[in-house]
Amino acid sequence: MQFFNFFLNSSLLVLVLSMSTKTDGQVRKTIIVDQSGHGSFTTIQNAIDSVPSNNEAWTLIHVKAGIYNEKVTIPRDKPRILLQGESYSVQDTLTDSEGRHYFENCYIEGAVDFIWGNGRSIYQGCNLNVTASAQRSGMAAYITAQARDSVVDHSGFVFKEGWIFGTGPAYLGRAYKPYARVLFYRTRMSGIIVPQGWSAWNYVKKENSIVYAEVDCTGAGANKSKRVAWEKKLSSKDLSYLLDINTFINNGGWIQRQPKRGS
């Protein structure tokens, strides 16, 4: 049996897990997880365990604010589960790891590597609120920490037509792995972005393998005159590949099979 394993901080995001096409796209049941005892369960794992195997209907598990110190396992034979949190985080808000993901019109908040991992993802129209002021005075924030590990690793983060705002200073990203790949496309950036834009972190003098790029971005933070010299200029072929939802992440048309927002 195969499992999905991950650690969860309750945050204002929705995680969708779907492995099948047989669904009407409607959420049929909602389960509340609340550590205070006012929900259906006090742990996330107990809520997942309550969902029957081979469930035909979508189940929403709403996780109330709190710190849940548990390792969560979702068996592959429970294919239609949504996990939704309600609070905010400062560090590692969104663990975007292992797989293809699509985020649309999301609000994501944090200060330290608050979108990180080796996911293969597109963020369409997302608002990124940087909260550097939540840290010790003078510390910079880092929006992304992408973890692409080799030239044959297909992962990467693509941010399209979103907005970066909040309190700075902030870097667009720092390389968590040597082949980190992040693209900001037509993104509105406030003046909180540091002039150099990016950090190689532990890969100084190995920047040639890092793929960080900005294309057609606007705002005070989008001034590239003092960006790091190793920021990449993508070829038209590479840019088209990363921006096309079907070629980059939507293999098999899985996005169209997800439950409709507000259902």
- Cα distance between the two ends of the chain: 30
113 assigned to active site: yes
Residue 236 backbone phi and psi in degrees, to 5: -60, -35
| Cα gap 129→174, rounded to integer Å | 17
* Placement of tokens 């980190």 in the chain: 180
Q: Which of 92, 216, 238, 244 is catalytic?
A: 92
Q: Which of 113, 149, 238, 244 is catalytic?
A: 113
DSSP-assigned beta bridge partners for residue 52: none
| Cα gap 142→50, rounded to integer Å | 38
96 assigned to active site: no
DSSP annotation of 24: -
- Nearest Cα neighbor of 196 from 167, 169, 215, 162 is 169
* Placement of tokens 């991992």 in the chain: 117
Side by side, which strands form the sheet with 120-124?
Answer: 100-104, 120-124, 156-160, 181-185, 211-215
| Cα gap 135→140, rounded to integer Å | 8
Show which residues are catalytic. Answer: 92, 113
